Amino acid sequence: MADRQDLKKIRNIGIAAHIDAGKTTLTERVLYYTGKSHKIGEVHDGTATMDWMVQEQERGITITSAATTCYWKDAIINIIDTPGHVDFTVEVERSLRILDGMVAVFCAVAGVQPQSETVWRQANKYGVPRLAFVNKMDRVGANYERVIGMLRDNLGAKPVMMNYPIGTEDQFKGIIDILNTKEFHFGDDAGTEIVETDIDPSRKALFEKLRTELVEAAAEGSDALLETYMETGTLSQDQVIEGIRKQTIAGSIIPAYCGTAFKNKGVQALLDGVVAFLPSPIDIPAVVGKKPHSEETETREPDPAAPMSGLVFKVQTDPFVGRLTYVRLYSGTLVPGTYVENTTQDTRERISRILLMHANTRSELKDAHAGQIIGVIGLKKARTGDTLTVENNPILLESIEFPEPVIFVAIEPKTKSDQDKLSQALEKLGDEDPTFHFRTDPETGQTIISGMGELHLEIIVDRLMREFGVQANIGKPQVAYKESISKKAEAEGKFIRQTGGRGQYGHVILKIEPIERGKGIEFVNKVVGGRIPKEYIPSVEKGVREAFQTGIIAGYPMVDVLVTLLDGSYHNVDSSDIAFQIAGSYAVKDAVKKAGPVILEPMMAVEVEAPENKMGDVISDINSRRGKIESIDPLANAIQQIKSEVPLSEMFGYATTLRSLTQGRGIYTMQFFRYSEVPKTIFENLIAEKS
């Protein structure tokens, strides 16, 4: 087994692809060849080991970020699972933050598809070095060189072929290993029988051409290599590897491999490539953060002897060990049984155990070091994006940003026992997924869950029902509108009942005024001279806040209002908490009506990339969705990028429209941008719907 302490041997990688390109199948094969998964799980049987969630198996997509450790030759490969659906771009970004290299899988028939482009650009943003694996070489219409061309033309990458197919489709019988000047011939589809030979004379000319391309690419790795190549016309094998490795890590070239994961061909060569060319944790720059509570920059070298630092990138409830926190360690050494500082939350927690997660087993570690990806047990509070450090030498790493949830559905459990199950399940799911929120609507008593997109909520509902056995009625997904006010207003609220015995008496006068977006509700008490006794002030505040939660105009929660309690009166006998709560809520409801109420809607930053000749249609479609075009810029190859701001309520079904407007060539990403006032007609419609 590999030596864990040798950082050079670690590869933290992700495998990314457009849906259906074969990411899951490839991951399975990698786990099979690396010896940790003994039975090959086929995706179509739903037995894949990585996709342990039922929904993922049925949908054939991978959603959560799980990390799996495996071994290839003397290297340790940590595979960080990256999701493939647009709704989960946050998950992709989160995994890109903590991995050092990536294998991008392309279908040999379909080539570069929209989601592979999206992930490619995200990887560019984070400077993640990549290898390309052109999968499905066995399929009718497979064309390796065409896909290589698309990498160059559509993605602006510089692919360098490391191997080349011998035959394609059902005649895909082997590969020319350009790097090692060999051929490998596959005996069967199980991938067990592989015959190594010299280059066949009939392919000599092809090989020479490919080898020259590879050596020339390697020569550009450094001035010294280029000089040697210019002088001698060649490079040694070590120099070739050095040149390719340097440039792969710098992101200037993409080593490319071909194969078929399904038929077990070409996976071993790819694994060799991961080890040879993708960076180890010490090949990438030291992590940079801040001293907590200051703007001072701090750096941590990837060294087991440096002060410990790590980033929590996933929290999962594991069926065997409970709350499991996935951590990428950037520096230092972590030992079970010790305390760590959570610099994000300013808390201190104890690490009880450290696990290495394999596909379907786990092993316990006595310690963990810089560069490792581990599962930690014992942390109760740590959340995704938190920094863990040593107490006497803390650092705060850049957190992972999560957009606000913008879409919600109502859930009504069928029985009391379903209600209990639901509450527990929501706690767990909310803990695992920071982009998912839930609350109870005080008016209807319904449970409202909110998230990033339609699919996101669909998956959560599915998990609630199956994993947690909750029986419930589910509403339609709806846009998360909010309410606010546009001007100042004052109002009085009275709740007085005097019908024999003990009565009720609450009386308040208050002022409301709009405040900056994002401030929520603020409450200030300016009552003097005990005109409302101190003990009733919190009751007034409670009533005010509750009234705002339910929404006054159209039932949406109200935000960005400052409430000032000005005056009121009380009764020695009849006043009570409840009377002041009700008075507070009456006053607010009345005040809002006079304060120019508005409804706010989530606006999305929408980026579309489409062919030049389709731009007219795409732009007029965005305009018809009440969108505002911010900019239009040309990208490579007659593709233009449009940046725009569009209300979420107009974006339902956009994927289908864009596909048909651009004959499938357009792609888009969408992210929450801000809340903004809805126009008058929509305001009136929303109110009409409510009444």
Residues in contact with ligand GDP by the rule CB under 6 A: 17, 19-25, 43-44, 60-62, 84, 135-136, 138-139, 260-263
Residue 28 beta carbon to ligand GDP: minimum distance, rounded to whole angstroms? 8
- Please tell me the distance from the alpha carbon of residue 109 to that of residue 481, in angstroms, as a whole number: 43
Of 120, 115, 117, 89, nearest to 102 by C-alpha is 120
Residue 322 beta carbon to ligand GDP: minimum distance, rounded to whole angstroms? 28
Tokens 């650009």 sit on residue: 121
Residue with Cβ nearer ligand GDP (44 or 497): 44
Helix axes 454-466, 416-432, angle to 10 degrees: 130
Residue 392 beta carbon to ligand GDP: minimum distance, rounded to whole angstroms? 44
CB 544 within 8 A of CB 523: yes
Residue with Cβ nearer ligand GDP (37 or 640): 37
Between the two ends of the chain, the Cα-to-Cα distance in Å is: 68
Residue with Cβ nearer ligand GDP (27 or 504): 27
| Identity of the residue numbered 232 | T
**DSSP code of 251?**
T
Residue 51 beta carbon to ligand GDP: minimum distance, rounded to whole angstroms? 8
Using DSSP, state whether 652 is helix, strand or coil: coil
Residue 172 beta carbon to ligand GDP: minimum distance, rounded to whole angstroms? 9
- Please tell me the distance from the alpha carbon of residue 492 to that of residue 585, in angstroms, as a whole number: 10
Of 416, 332, 325, nearest to 378 by C-alpha is 325
CB 580 within 8 A of CB 539: yes
- Please tell me the distance from the alpha carbon of residue 50 to that of residue 155, in angstroms, as a whole number: 29
- Please tell me the distance from the alpha carbon of residue 501 to that of residue 548, in angstroms, as a whole number: 32
Residue 53 beta carbon to ligand GDP: minimum distance, rounded to whole angstroms? 13
Q: Alpha-carbon Rg of the chain, whole angstroms?
A: 30
Residue with Cβ nearer ligand GDP (185 or 353): 185
Residue with Cβ nearer ligand GDP (115 or 325): 115
Residue 139 beta carbon to ligand GDP: minimum distance, rounded to whole angstroms? 5
Residue with Cβ nearer ligand GDP (24 or 372): 24
Residue with Cβ nearer ligand GDP (138 or 590): 138
Residues contacting 132, CB < 8 A, separation 6+: 103, 104, 106, 151, 157, 159, 254, 255, 256, 257
Residue with Cβ nearer ligand GDP (262 or 675): 262
- Please tell me the distance from the alpha carbon of residue 361 to that of residue 195, in angstroms, as a whole number: 32
Residue with Cβ nearer ligand GDP (86 or 312): 86
Residue 262 beta carbon to ligand GDP: minimum distance, rounded to whole angstroms? 3
- Please tell me the distance from the alpha carbon of residue 109 to that of residue 87, in angstroms, as a whole number: 25
Tokens standing for 506? 């609450």
